[in-house]
Structure 1
Amino acid sequence: MSIYKPEGMMIDTLSNRQAFRSLSCLQEAFTQGKILESRAVVCDSEHNLIVDMGCCRGIIPRVEGALGIAQGATRDIAIISKVNKPVCYKITGFSTHPDGAPCPILSRRLVQEECTREYIMKLTPGDIIDAKVTHLEAFGCFVDIGCGIASLIPIDAISISRISHPRDRFRPSQEIKVVVKSLEENGRVSLTHKELLGTWEENASLFSAGETVAGIVRSVEDYGIFVELTPNLAGLAEPRDDVAIGQHASVYIKSLIPEKMKAKLIIVDCFDAQYQNTPVNYFIAEGHLSRWQYSPPCADRIIETIFD
């Protein structure tokens, strides 16, 4: 299991908490070259990050705040946006504050360089890894895949059921699983998520014809209304004039047809509601995928992802 976790996943571990018990514990962490994590509380006027270390406050100088800051490849918003959030770092030395209090000197950049070298560059397509949602854009979901290093899940790779915005599926700071789709020459990692949410058969097995179940309206077309039953299973209901995208629905399942990968539905009721997103149900949550086939063996067409 990798020690290079997304920021925020290490802060409450026993090993991490023990490092902040005293100055001597911090000295020991420095000697061992240990990766620590705690909350950034201030970004000063020179864009240095001040970090709460329990027995004292440390400083991450601006150029040590993130990979690429010194070269101008990374904007300072990458530092400013970390205030009031956990950050990882190594202690590189000790100084003193103007009032005489000890001041550990810290580097987040060193941790990110090590994470890139020892973890990210060793990933292969198909690897299932931890990630943490950082922010959402219309085109996709940005996640931290280790020590604050960002990667993107394109919106069409989030689930089989199409969504209008990643916020329909995720929230900031949510811990999720992702699959490495490819590694680019510049070190960027391309991610996907839908392969972890189950095949058509796995999702369809959760339902039976004749049941009335909960759903979410994802698309309204002239020929019918697509209602999501799970993130990787949607069905088609007959057209109605009183239905809008994003509404919740109760739907009657007329039939499930594996060879056509179809679920035929009847909308019983449709309404506005502000339910929280349900926790992600992963059919696969660890290990490695060489190939994933969504479609059943009897289906008329094959939907698959090849990783190796």
Structure 2
Amino acid sequence: MKGQKNNNYRHMLVDLKPSMKLEGQVTKLGLFGAFVDVGAEREGLVHISMLKRGHVNRAEDVVQEGQKVEVWIHRVDPNAGRLELTMIKPIQLKWDKIKPGLKLKGEVVRLEKFGAFVDVGAERPGLVHVSELSTEYVSDPSDVVKVGDEIEVSVVDINRKKRQIRLSMKEVALEVEDDEEATDEVPTAMEFALRQALQHSDNKEPEIQSSPRRNQNREQKELEDILDRTLKHRVRTASSSE
């Protein structure tokens, strides 16, 4: 990498921040971890303890030279030319921010007979119980979601002591249905005015028959007058209520 100009780098160390996600390629393995080229002035080191969650005996048990990987910035010191990386996704959602009713987007990471585990950026994945996967009966979670699916969920309950999060897809679906029904049921001001106008027009007493053209013109004018009065009445009512 010596002799390269700064403008050939995809990233400059001074621009990198902790938790920033990057893509890179493993260039060398050692007893203490793996070096990864992310396109910066220096290769970054993923310490063996940061290759994955849990104990790792050897770096080659997790990655191989030449492998493309996703990494996150752990620490960066531009003055010292030091770049520390991690392959463990940083926690984006802290426990004190998780509350019932909170809407989140996440990725399905594991399926069990009793439900689906979803990574929402917290310390641990949350569980969508099989009964919370859909508004309809579900016998097998794989009938609704697959590993890798991006889904929207709602927090049902949390147990900070046990580090457990209960999630629901059903709650999100029910809220969407309620919103759609509310939108269908509430008419706009124009729709309301037209309904009122048509209703008043239907209730008017029949007049003495005259020529078809004259009747048509009169009915059109009456409808326009009724519509105009109705709209003005709606505006006055809205203003007085404020």
TM-score normalized by structure 2?
0.51
- 1:58 corresponds to which residue? 44
Runs of 5+ unmatched residues, structure 2: 1-8, 182-242
Which residue pairs with 2:13 in the alignment?
26
Alignment check: 8 A CA contact 2:34 2:48 kept: yes
Report the Cα offset of residue 37 of structure 1: 1.0
Aligned to 1:173: 148
Q: In 2, Cα distance between the equivalents of 1:47 and 1:189?
A: 34
Give the letter for the 1:104 counterpart. Answer: L
Structure 1: segments with no counterpart, 5+ residues: 1-19, 97-101, 206-308
Partner in structure 2 of residue 36 of structure 1: 20
Higher strand share goes to which structure? 1
Residue 75 to residue 37, structure 1, CA distance change in 2 (3 Å): same
Mapped pair 1:142 → 2:128: no
Aligned partners of 2:37, 2:139: CA distance in 1, in Å?
39
In 1: Cα distance, 2:68 partner to 2:144 partner: 25
Q: 3-state DSSP class of the match of 1:162?
A: coil
Per-residue CA deviations over 1:248-276 (Å, capped at 9, x if unaligned) read xxxxxxxxxxxxxxxxxxxxxxxxxxxxx
- 1:190 Cα offset (Å): 1.7
Larger of the two Rg values belongs to structure:
2
The residue type paired with residue 21 of structure 1 is R
Q: Secondary structure at the match of 1:111?
A: coil
User: 1:28-50, CA deviations, whole angstroms, 9 ceiling, x for partnerless residues?
Assistant: 32xxx442113475596869465
User: Which residue of the partner structure matches residue 103 of structure 2?
Assistant: 128
**Superposed counterparts of 1:1-308, under 5 Å:** 21-22=10-11, 25-29=12-16, 33-39=17-23, 48=33, 51-55=36-40, 57-65=43-51, 69=53, 74=54, 80=62, 86-93=70-77, 104-107=83-86, 111-112=90-91, 115-116=92-93, 119-146=94-121, 149-184=124-159, 185-198=161-174
Distance 2:165 2:38 in 1: 32
Q: Aligned partners of 2:131, 2:69: CA distance in 1, in Å?
A: 29
Could you tell me whether the CA contact under 8 Å between 1:90 and 1:108 is conserved in 2? Answer: no
Q: Is the 8 A contact 1:153 1:193 kept in 2?
A: yes
Q: Secondary structure at the match of 1:173?
A: coil
**Inter-CA distance 162–123: structure 2 relative to 1 (3 Å threshold):** same
CA-based RMSD of the aligned residues comes to: 4.2
Which structure features the higher share of helix residues?
2
Count of aligned pairs between the two proteins = 164
